[in-house]
């Protein structure tokens, strides 16, 4: 079993829809969680950090469920420009090598 | 301000050739990371520097891979005797310290023929 798992998708949704996807992790000692966005043939860019209390940034909401060991990303009122691959990142700073990226979930927004 | 830069952006190497990939982190960033990203996969950790010290190299896939950051700024990832399975995008990222957001460079796309 991979340490960080994501549904690869693709999620194909109409513009304006709400879409959500999860990322599960296996290491209960994980400390920090992030969502990155990666456009085709581009580098990953931080979308948002994920805090224990959950956090929202505009149309994006991230949540952490430590008991069930997953993080989620919700996108409301999706735009065409949201089409990208969304990577979850789970880290444990007891060892730098415990920076684990998921394989990404591909999201495609159609007009 | 300038972000993380990497060079070359593209590299085609013949199998067995040595290659060197360069990363210029954001000025003042203490931490520097190298990742390997295969097509359709997320980045996989290779190695981590804090200033000039290589604190973790557990992700380097073989002893053909070597990284250095002698003055605590620019870093070079060297791959000796390249193999076809080394073909991937090599990403460099830096952060102010190891526990903060990582800023990625555009990557070097390596193709080994």
Residue A44 phi, psi dihedral angles, 5° rounding:
-65, 145
Range A17-30 average pLDDT: 91
Cβ–Cβ under 8 Å, residues B105 and B23? yes
The two tokens of residue B60 are 């380097």
Of B42, B48, B107, the CB nearest to A101: B42
Tell me the per-residue pLDDT of A42-70, one tens digit each, with 9 for 90 and over: 999 999 999 888 899 999 999 999 999 99
Contact residues on chain A for B98, CB-CB shorter than 8 A = 93, 96
Name the token pair of B75.
Answer: 């870093």
What is the Cα–Cα distance from B59 to B57, expressed in whole angstroms? 5
- pLDDT above 90 for A3: no
Residue A24: exposure state from Cβ atoms within 10 A (0-12, 13-18, ≥19): buried
pLDDT in tens, B16-75: 999 999 999 999 999 999 999 999 899 999 999 999 999 999 899 999 999 999 999 999
Residue B49 tokens, joined: 């520097």
Residues A32-36, mean pLDDT to the nearest whole number: 93
Q: Which two tokens stand for residue A83?
A: 């089409």
- Residue B21 pairs in a beta bridge with B77
For residues A19, A25, A31, A32, the Cα torsion angle rounded to the nearest 10 degrees is -30
Best B5, B43, B46, B92 residue to mutate vs chain A (most A CBs within 10 Å): B43
**Among the partner residues B33, B48, B105, nearest to A43 by beta-carbon distance:** B105
3-class SS of residue B16? coil
Token readout for B59 is 């992700």
The pLDDT value given to residue B7: 97
Q: In the structure encoding, which two tokens stand for residue A66, read together? A: 């430590």
Start-to-end Cα distance in chain B: 37
pLDDT at A1 over 80: no
pLDDT the model gives residue A51: 86
- CA dist., res. A1 & res. B66, Å (int): 29
Residue from A23, A34, A44 to probe the interface with B (highest B Cβ count within 10 Å): A44
As given in the structure block, the two tokens for residue B11 are 């590299």
pLDDT in tens, A66-102: 999 999 999 999 999 999 999 999 987 655 557 889 9
């Amino acid at each position: 079993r991979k340490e960080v798992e994501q549904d690869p998708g693709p999620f194909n949704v109409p513009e304006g829809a709400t879409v959500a996807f999860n990322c599960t992790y296996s290491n209960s000692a994980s400390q920090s969680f992030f969502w990155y966005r990666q456009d085709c043939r581009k580098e990953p860019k931080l979308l948002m950090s994920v805090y224990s209390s959950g956090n929202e940034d505009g149309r994006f909401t991230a949540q952490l469920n430590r008991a069930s060991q997953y993080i989620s990303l919700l996108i409301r009122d999706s735009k065409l420009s949201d089409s990208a691959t969304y990577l979850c990142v789970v880290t444990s700073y007891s060892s730098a090598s415990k920076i684990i990226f998921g394989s990404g979930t591909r999201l495609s927004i159609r007009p | 301000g300038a972000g993380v830069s990497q060079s070359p952006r593209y590299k085609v190497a013949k199998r067995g050739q040595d290659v060197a990939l360069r990363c210029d982190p954001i000025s003042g960033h203490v931490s520097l990371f190298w990742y390997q990203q295969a097509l359709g996969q997320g980045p996989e950790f290779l190695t981590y520097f804090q200033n000039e010290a290589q604190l973790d190299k557990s992700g380097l896939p073989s002893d053909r891979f070597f990284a250095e950051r002698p003055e605590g700024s620019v870093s070079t990832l060297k791959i000796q005797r390249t193999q076809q399975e080394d073909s991937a995008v090599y990403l460099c990222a830096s952060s102010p310290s190891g526990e903060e957001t990582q800023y990625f460079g555009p990557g070097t796309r390596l193709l080994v023929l």
